[in-house]
Amino acid sequence: MHLKPIITIICIFCVGIGFLLSLTSEAAYCADTATVIKLNTILRESSSEESEKVLLLKKAAVLALIDREDSDGWLNVIDIKTGKEGWVKKKHVSLVLSNKPKPELVFNDDKIDEISNPEIEVENVSDKDLTLKVSDARFVVPKHSKKAVIVPPGEHKYHASAPNVYPAIGKNDFRTGHRYTWKFWIESRRR
């Protein structure tokens, strides 16, 4: 009997509207991925040969693309095995780009006042520590815990990752005087 492989994913629940974003069998929720094709490919802190080494990637390592657009031949990625973010040379990977559009998340939020920076209340109900990056700010949300995060108003890209899990990736416009609530969990599904 042939079993389908299991895919493990990070899910987001935007409290208030009941919307679930999850990675499904359709190319991992419309995720763009890359597979390392060169031996001894280095995951770096930034898009430069001189930047710090984050990790030595094995050939055939699977990476999630944070953005399809390269930066002078470098791609911003997350190593699925470790959950670590960094940059790899585009020529060292083979890309698998989804032809399915990413779902647009419409975050419901609560207005709390007219002047406060946006607040994001993050709840991690999984059994793994979660790394959440909102624009350039990185936060660790320990397993089975909550964390409040303050961000400047405006549109921010975000991603949530954990080891051996496909990350949740998106963007949102965070408005002054509003509180956003996110709940993250991990699911495994056969694909």
> What average pLDDT does the chain have?
82
| Phi, psi for 58 (deg, rounded to 5) | -80, 155
Q: Is residue 103 part of a domain?
A: no
21 with 114, same domain: the answer is yes
DSSP string, 23-91: --TTHHHH--EEEE-STTEEEESSSSTTSPEEEEEPTT-EEEES-SS-BTTEEEEEETTT--EEEEEGG
pLDDT at 138 over 70: yes
Q: What is the pLDDT of residue 168?
A: 85
C-alpha torsion 75→42→63→166, nearest 10: -110
Q: Is residue 145 part of a domain?
A: yes
86 with 139, same domain: the answer is no
17 with 37, same domain: the answer is no
54 with 22, same domain: the answer is no
Residue 11 — very low, low, confident or very high, per pLDDT cuts 50/70/90? low
156 with 113, same domain: the answer is yes
CATH number at residue 150: 2.60.40
Q: Is residue 116 part of a domain?
A: yes
10 with 63, same domain: the answer is no
114 with 180, same domain: the answer is yes
22 with 116, same domain: the answer is yes
Neighbouring C-beta atoms of residue 160, cutoff 10 Å:
27
Q: Which pair of tokens denotes residue 4? A: 């389908």
Q: Is residue 53 part of a domain?
A: yes
The residue-averaged pLDDT of 173-178 equals: 95
Q: What is the pLDDT of residue 21?
A: 34
pLDDT at 16 over 60: no
Q: How far apart are CA 107 and CA 85, in angstroms?
A: 25
Higher pLDDT, 123 or 8: 123
CATH number at residue 49: 2.30.30.40
Question: What is the per-residue pLDDT across 67-91, written as a single tens digit (0 to 9) for each?
Answer: 889 999 999 999 999 999 999 999 9
pLDDT at 52 over 50: yes
Which of 96, 120, 144 delimits the end of a domain? 96
Which of 40, 75, 96 delimits the end of a domain? 96
Number of domains in the chain: 2
163 with 114, same domain: the answer is yes
Q: Is residue 191 part of a domain?
A: no
Where is average pLDDT lowest: 49-53, 95-99, 119-123, 140-144?
95-99
What is the span of the domain harbouring residue 89?
32-96
172 with 113, same domain: the answer is yes
pLDDT at 110 over 80: yes
Which of 96, 122, 149 delimits the end of a domain? 96
22 with 53, same domain: the answer is no
71 with 119, same domain: the answer is no
Q: What is the pLDDT of residue 99?
A: 78
